[in-house]
Amino acid sequence: MILAGTTEASRLAKEVSAAKIKAVLSYAGRVERPKPQPLPRRTGGFGGVEGLKKFLRDQSITHVVDSTHPFAVQMSQHAVDACADLNLPLMAFSRPEWKPTSADNWIEVADIPAAVSALKGAKKRIMLALGRMHLQAFEAQPQHRYLLRLVDPPGKDLTLPNCDIVVSRGPFTKDGDLALMRDYNIQLVVCKNSGGVAARAKLDAARELDLPVIMIARPKLDRPRLETASLKKVMQWLGHSGTDLGV
């Protein structure tokens, strides 16, 4: 089973399908129009660790690849706990985190509450590149004008006042993000250390515009696990040496 919802999961799905490995992709169901995939999918939470264990047993799953977003910490914690209980092999396949260069102006913070606290002070125009899930926390700093970029148009769940919304799924480019930041006169960017190529355009643009970036660190799990950023290593771990897709 591949715990999905990321570009890495989609890359792995393509490779696993080409290698004719029997697999299922699991989605939380947060996105309204998920991308078509070459593997069967199931959608929705499992109901915690016990629900996940039941699913893994019922479906006779032999390997779990956690390819959720690095900030999907609850799902990842459930996966390590369930796999430890069932003695099932688990591998995390995720993108490496971003590192600042000497030209970057990052303020590194531990979590969302720390990012919110770092925004105390006079009104600024801020790009909140966080997705839709943690926006409410920023209501504690209502003096700013926020720019949000969301995959789906916001619904009633968006209660953050004083914001501009751009609906876009990406992939994003440095030139596109430069234009966006200039159009909205952005003075500060807040983002999670997600890693990856497409999402780093905003960091390249912020560097070029000499903007500070509040960078939220990745959450940590309670247990160690196997982890790689290499698709080839995941395929080897699955007992497959790769296909002509190039891994």
Ligand X SMILES: NC(=O)c1ccc[n+]([C@@H]2O[C@H](COP(=O)([O-])OP(=O)(O)OC[C@H]3O[C@@H](n4cnc5c(N)ncnc54)[C@H](OP(=O)(O)O)[C@@H]3O)[C@@H](O)[C@H]2O)c1
CB neighbour burial string for 39-69, b if at least 16 within 10 angstroms, e if fewer: beeeeeebeebeebbebbeeeebebbbbbbb
Question: Hey, which residues between 36 and 55 contact ligand X (CB under 6 A)?
Answer: 45-48, 51-52
Question: Distance between CA atoms of 175 and 202, rounded to whole angstroms?
Answer: 9
Q: Is 68 in the site for ligand X (CB under 6 A)?
A: yes
Per-residue binder mask for ligand X (CB under 6 A), 177-216, x = binder: ---------------x------------------------
For residues 112 and 218, give the distance between their C-alpha atoms in angstroms, rounded to a whole number.
10
Q: How far apart are CA 136 and CA 201, in angstroms?
A: 25
**Which strands make up the sheet holding 90-93, listed edge to edge?**
41-43, 25-27, 2-3, 64-66, 90-93, 226-228
Query: What is the nearest approach in angstroms of ligand X to the Cβ of residue 194?
Result: 7
Nearest approach, Cβ of 72 to ligand X (angstroms)? Answer: 3
Q: Is 137 in the site for ligand X (CB under 6 A)?
A: no
| Closest-CA residue to 15 (of 199, 200, 198, 237) | 237
* Residue (68 or 141) nearer to ligand X, CB: 68
Binding residue (CB under 6 A) for ligand X from 12, 16, 65, 72: 72
- Nearest approach in angstroms of CB 74 to ligand X is 3
Single out the residue of 10, 17, 26, 94 in contact with ligand X (rule: CB under 6 A): 26
Q: Does position 86 bind ligand X by CB under 6 A?
A: no
Cβ distance to ligand X smaller for residue 71 or 106:
71
- Tell whether residue 225 is a contact of ligand X (CB under 6 A): no
Inter-residue contact 114 to 138 (CB < 8 Å): no
- Compute the least distance from the CB of residue 147 to ligand X, in Å: 18
Find the part of the chain contacting ligand X (CB under 6 A) among 27-35, 161-169, 197-205, 228-236.
27-35
Cα–Cα distances in angstroms (integers) from residue 17 to residues 13, 86, 92, 176, 228, in the given order = 6, 26, 19, 33, 20
Q: How far is CA 191 from CA 19, 80, 85, 149, in A?
A: 36, 26, 34, 11
Give the nearest distance from C-beta 212 to ligand X in angstroms.
Answer: 21
Contact set with ligand X (CB under 6 A)? 3-6, 26-28, 30, 45-48, 51-52, 68-69, 71-75, 78, 131, 133, 192
